[in-house]
Amino acid sequence: MSTSFSVDARTRAALFTEARSNTRFADREVPLEVIHDVWDMIKWGPTGNNTVPMRLAVARTPEARAATIAAALEGNRHKLEQAPLLMVAARDDRFHDTFEVTGGGSASTYERLETEPERRERMAHTGTLLQAGYLIIGLRAAGLAVRPYGGFDKAAMDEALLSGTSWRSEVLFGVGWPAEGDHGAGERRGRIAAEAAVMAL
């Protein structure tokens, strides 16, 4: 039996099977408005207790862009330079300040989160990584290509871009419109098949 997916093969290819982690992009700007539109779609992805801990710091100015690249590991810098838009997905360690919106305004839950900063940070970290996954798929759905980067100095990034805020960097993204021809991601490496990854009990 073949599965009848609710989205067509072209969409599945654009989101998963053909999409790559590009390092090469078209020479075309990514308007901030597109990032807003992607956010307003991916914010609906489910999270623990409906928290929304991810924030996006978009390096728009040449100064912010240079600081972002400088905080990256040496081996990532050249790849990042090629991306028209650089963006840091950060966790907001004070995500519970928006609890009126996301938490149904439960005063007792807010109070518990306020008094347990370590638990809050763990929740923010986990939720941000989950939302970062939604973000990758959302950017692809907007026709963009994206390469995520974990290889950067988080303390240096926070100091350069996020100082004075409750945001802490988690994942860096190089984003752009796909170029004709080479995506720059090289040979695609393998994935684990369902037979090995799914256990029926």
Ligand X SMILES: Cc1cc2nc3c(=O)[nH]c(=O)nc-3n(C[C@H](O)[C@H](O)[C@H](O)COP(=O)(O)O)c2cc1C
Number of alpha carbons in the 13 Å side-chain half-sphere of residue 129: 6
Cα separation, 174 vs 176, whole angstroms: 7
- 65 near ligand X (CB under 6 A): no
Structure tokens at 130: 């989950």
- 151 near ligand X (CB under 6 A): yes
Q: Single out the segment in contact with ligand X by CB under 6 A; choices: 28-36, 43-51, 106-114, 148-156.
A: 148-156
Number of residues that bind ligand X (CB under 6 A): 13
- Spatial CA neighbour of 22 closest among 144, 133, 199: 144
Cα separation, 86 vs 101, whole angstroms: 28
DSSP 111-143: HHHHH-HHHHHHHHHHHHHHHHHHHHHHHHHTT
According to CB under 6 A, which one of 14, 21, 45, 93 is a site residue for ligand X?
21
String of contacts with ligand X for each residue 71-90, x by CB under 6 A: -----x--x-----------
Query: Which residue's CB is nearer to ligand X, number 110 or number 156?
Result: 156
Query: Which residue's CB is nearer to ligand X, number 64 or number 129?
Result: 129
The DSSP call for residue 52 is -
Q: Single out the segment in contact with ligand X by CB under 6 A; choices: 28-36, 37-45, 55-63, 184-192.
A: 184-192
Residues forming the site for ligand X (CB under 6 A): 20-21, 76, 79, 147-151, 171, 185, 188-189
